[in-house]
């Protein structure tokens, strides 16, 4: 059994197809790898993904379920409506949760964000933790509803190079990853997460990417 993310990928160049696969790292990075490897004219988009307790088994069950819609036997592409693939993954994820006794290490990142990124952080975010599991890691983000007291917690991947994901996580690994995350600036965070509202992320991107902006200044510095 291997904990990991099962994903549904979509590519605008192939609007009638989805790709169903799994990864122990993160779906966003896998989508980027597929784009570079395949030479297709459009980026792959992570339509949906789920963290499950047995990613390989969930992937196999999805492949078996949609075998009649498979484009080729040696490819993970299926000709079916994306919502149907997403619903099937959601149903299976309920059957294969991450075991409650899984060794888990966490770091509370909310104090860091309220100190350094308070003017950027989505005000609906009320809890923010980095979670280290065997073979994978992610952000645990709890948001409150803007209309009532409902809280929704999601597991959000971190498409960030340099994070360690050993089969047996330990405190040294956790501290390494924590330091790596704390070194990220606001531009890094809009690239790897959706913790900032869209309009705020757009403003950050404009400030960093404009002529003689922070990106250009960094390049000149190095």
List the chain domain ranges: 4-95, 105-221
CA-to-CA dists, residue 146 to 10, 91, 122, angstroms: 30, 27, 11
Given the DSSP bridges, would you call strands 105-108 and 125-133 parallel, antiparallel or unpaired? antiparallel
Global confidence as pTM: 0.78
Tokens of 141: 């983000």
pLDDT tens track for 163-176? 999 989 999 999 99
List pLDDT tens digits, range 78-125: 999 999 999 999 999 999 999 989 999 999 999 999 999 999 999 999
Q: Report yes or no: 70 and 78 within 8 Å, Cβ to Cβ.
A: yes
Measured distance between the N- and C-terminal CA atoms of the chain, rounded to whole angstroms: 45
**In this structure, are residues 7 and 48 in contact, taking their beta carbons and an 8 Å threshold?**
yes
Per-residue pLDDT of the chain (222 residues; tens, 9 = 90+): 588 889 998 888 777 889 999 876 544 444 444 434 444 445 778 888 899 999 999 999 999 999 999 988 878 899 999 999 999 999 999 999 999 899 999 999 999 999 999 999 999 999 999 999 998 899 999 999 888 779 999 888 888 889 999 989 999 999 999 999 999 999 999 998 999 999 999 999 999 999 888 888 777 665
| Most distant CA pair in the chain, distance | 56
DSSP-based three-state secondary structure for 135:
coil
């Amino acid at each position: 059994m291997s904990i990991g993310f099962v994903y549904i990928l979509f590519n605008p160049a192939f609007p009638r197809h989805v790709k169903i696969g799994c990864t122990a790292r993160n779906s966003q990075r896998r989508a980027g790898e597929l784009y570079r490897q395949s030479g297709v004219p459009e980026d792959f988009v992570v339509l949906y993904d789920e963290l499950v307790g047995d990613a390989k088994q969930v992937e196999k069950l999805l492949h078996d379920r949609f075998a009649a819609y498979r484009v080729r036997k040696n490819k993970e592409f299926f000709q079916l409506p994306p919502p149907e693939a997403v619903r099937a993954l959601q149903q299976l994820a309920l059957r294969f949760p991450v075991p409650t006794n899984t060794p888990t290490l966490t770091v509370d990142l909310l104090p860091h964000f309220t100190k350094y990124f308070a003017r950027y952080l989505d005000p609906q975010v009320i809890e923010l933790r980095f979670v280290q599991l065997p073979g994978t890691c992610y952000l645990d983000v709890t948001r409150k509803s803007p209309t009532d007291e409902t809280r929704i917690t999601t597991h959000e991947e971190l498409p960030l190079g340099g994070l360690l994901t050993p089969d047996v996580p330990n405190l040294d690994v956790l501290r390494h990853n924590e330091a790596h995350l704390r070194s990220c600036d606001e531009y890094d965070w809009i690239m790897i997460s959706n913790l900032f509202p869209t309009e705020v992320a757009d403003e950050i991107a404009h400030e960093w990417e404009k002529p003689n902006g922070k990106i250009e200044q960094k390049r000149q510095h190095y």
